[in-house]
């Protein structure tokens, strides 16, 4: 079965984009990875309306990407902040890859806004697609893609 003969209804890329593919959702995840936790801080930093922000955060919590944790400041009612779950932290390479692509193809002439470096040696961090056995970097020309067990013919 060739790619154009396969249904994309159950494509994992499509299902992932259904969860995190909106611009605002990716920006909220970017901020969560950079330590933003509270609703007001997300709103102020990303610039979303309360309604859109609340809807995006609810979707991320429902998907298990973020979880809520109660907090209470002196003299205030209990509120909730948002924290990445293990499932959410697994999205970090995707955001680093988007940043890496942007720095290559849509860079700010003044340089990067974020400088991500390895704590131990100080080298820049980058995302690489590699062979699981040989641990060598791969390009699309180095791989073969074939239908997996969930592939279905297009109707």
On whether the CB atoms of residues 68 and 61 are closer than 8 A, the answer is: yes
pLDDT for res 71:
94
What is the per-residue pLDDT across 115-128, written as a single tens digit (0 to 9) for each?
Answer: 999 999 999 999 99
- The pLDDT mean for the chain works out to 94
Which whole number is the average pLDDT over 82-95? 98
pLDDT at 1 > cutoff 80? no
Global confidence as pTM: 0.88
Q: In this predicted structure, what is the pLDDT of residue 26?
A: 97
Helix, strand, coil: what percent of the chain each, to 5?
40, 10, 45
User: Which domains does the chain show, CATH number per domain?
Assistant: 3-142 (1.10.10.10)
């Amino acid at each position: 079965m060739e790619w154009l003969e396969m249904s994309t209804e159950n494509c994992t890329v499509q299902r992932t984009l259904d969860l995190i593919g909106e611009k605002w959702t990716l920006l909220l995840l970017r901020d969560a990875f950079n330590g933003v936790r509270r609703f007001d801080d997300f709103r102020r930093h990303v610039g979303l309306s309360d309604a859109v922000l609340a809807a995006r955060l609810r979707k991320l919590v429902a998907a298990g990407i973020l979880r809520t944790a109660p907090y209470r400041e002196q003299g205030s009612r209990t509120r909730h902040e948002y924290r990445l779950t293990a499932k959410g932290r697994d999205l970090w390479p995707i955001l680093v890859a988007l940043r890496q692509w942007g720095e290559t193809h849509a860079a700010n002439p003044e340089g990067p806004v974020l400088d991500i470096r390895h704590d131990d040696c100080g080298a820049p961090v980058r995302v690489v697609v590699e062979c699981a056995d040989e641990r060598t970097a791969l390009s699309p020309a180095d791989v073969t893609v074939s239908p997996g067990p969930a592939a279905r013919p297009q109707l």
